[in-house]
């Protein structure tokens, strides 16, 4: 069993760290919120004094932070890159822009260290249950070293390629997720306005060529899926503002790739308008309100 520094203990990081403890690892943890720290310390983790402290004398560091600037702060400004020693593997699990991800890999490589970018899908439910998917970027040896650790937190661990390609894969997936949520909303609002019952639309399309994971599992039209957020007051789930963050990452990625994403761009604009109207904390499926405010 390993000693692991874990930095960032929020809704995702907290349960992930606890799953590492359950698997028998020793954890040194750090978060700016004392409450978040306590949650994990009560499960058996050692409280570190700082991010750098959490990264000192450990076999691996896992970071799970909100945005790219946080990641840069923790690794560069807060000194994690200086605190780690030879052989420490860095696992960066935040969902961030590809440019920052690659810059962190490069900064690690410069010092002779290995890093894996390993963003996740599966949400807080997957983090709790230890069933996350990890999309990993980095060298094969680093990925091999990361895998047993990631397997304590997830069930689908994929090596997507070189540095940053975990992030790229994640953002391609989430761009589709965001597009599909809006697209399904468009079809259901239109269909029902023209007279088709929403349950009939659901039954037909969920078994036809227009189906998608979102339609079948998170249909934005209330009343089609009893367990979906849309049938439960749009309580997240995955907040709309986080979807906007991911869509913006997708647009930055499209710029970096020099490629057109006409639907990705239209979806990004739609979520931005939706959130401007005060809906950021609702579930992503609330995007249907942009088309039908009284849904």
Cα separation of 44 and 21, whole Å? 7
In this chain, which of 133, 224, 285, 286 binds a copy of itself, going by CB under 8 A?
Answer: 133
Q: Which of 280, 191, 271 is nearest to 234 (CA)?
A: 280
Instruction: Decide: is 195 part of the binding site for a copy of itself (CB under 8 A).
Output: yes
Q: Are 88 and 112 in contact (CB under 8 A)?
A: no
Cα separation of 131 and 149, whole Å? 13
Near a copy of itself in 49-78, by CB under 8 A? none
Residue 60's DSSP bridge partners are 4, 89
Give me the catalytic one of 28, 49, 155, 170: 170
Q: How far is the CB of 218 from a copy of itself (least distance, A)?
A: 8
Near a copy of itself in 104-123, by CB under 8 A? 121
For residue 42, give the DSSP letter. Answer: T
Binding segment toward a copy of itself, per CB under 8 A, in 43-51, 84-92, 192-200, 228-236: 192-200
Q: Judge whether 235 counts as a catalytic residue.
A: no
23 or 66: CB nearest a copy of itself: 66
In this chain, which of 175, 239, 240, 282 binds a copy of itself, going by CB under 8 A?
Answer: 175
Instruction: Decide: is 215 part of the binding site for a copy of itself (CB under 8 A).
Output: yes
Binding segment toward a copy of itself, per CB under 8 A, in 5-13, 75-83, 226-234, 255-263: 255-263
Q: Which of 277, 278, 274, 279 is nearest to 290 (CA)?
A: 274
Burial per residue of 186-215, b for 16 or more beta-carbon CB atoms within 10 angstroms, e otherwise: bbbbebbeeeeebeebbeebbeeeeebebb
Question: Known catalytic residues?
Answer: 170
């Amino acid at each position: 069993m390993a000693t692991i520094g874990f930095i960032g203990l929020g809704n995702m990081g907290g349960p992930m760290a606890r799953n590492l403890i359950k698997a028998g690892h020793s954890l040194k943890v750090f978060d700016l919120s004392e409450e978040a720290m306590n949650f994990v310390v009560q499960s058996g983790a050692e409280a570190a004094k700082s991010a750098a402290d959490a990264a000192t004398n450990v076999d691996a560091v896992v970071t799970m932070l909100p945005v790219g600037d946080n990641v840069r702060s923790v690794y560069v400004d807060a000194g994690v890159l200086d605190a780690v020693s030879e052989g420490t593997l860095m696992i960066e699990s935040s969902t961030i822009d590809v440019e920052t991800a690659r810059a962190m890999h490069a900064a690690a490589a410069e010092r002779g260290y290995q890093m894996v970018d390993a963003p996740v899908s599966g949400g807080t439910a997957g983090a709790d249950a230890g069933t996350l998917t990890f999309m990993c970027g980095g060298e094969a040896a680093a990925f091999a070293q990361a895998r047993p650790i990631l397997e304590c937190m997830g069930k689908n661990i994929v090596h997507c390629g070189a540095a940053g390609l975990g992030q790229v894969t994640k953002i391609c997936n989430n761009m589709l997720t965001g597009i599909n949520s809006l697209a399904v909303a468009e079809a259901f609002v239109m269909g029902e306005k023209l007279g088709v019952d929403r349950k009939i639309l659901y039954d037909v399309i969920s078994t036809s060529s227009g189906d998608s994971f979102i339609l079948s599992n998170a249909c934005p039209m209330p009343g089609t899926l009893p367990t979906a957020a849309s049938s439960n007051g749009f309580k997240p789930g995955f907040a709309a503002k986080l979807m906007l963050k991911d869509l913006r990452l997708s647009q930055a990625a499209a710029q970096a790739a020099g490629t057109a994403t006409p639907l990705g761009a239209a979806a990004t604009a739609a979520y931005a308008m939706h959130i401007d109207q005060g809906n950021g904390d609702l579930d992503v499926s609330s995007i249907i309100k942009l088309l039908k405010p009284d849904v």
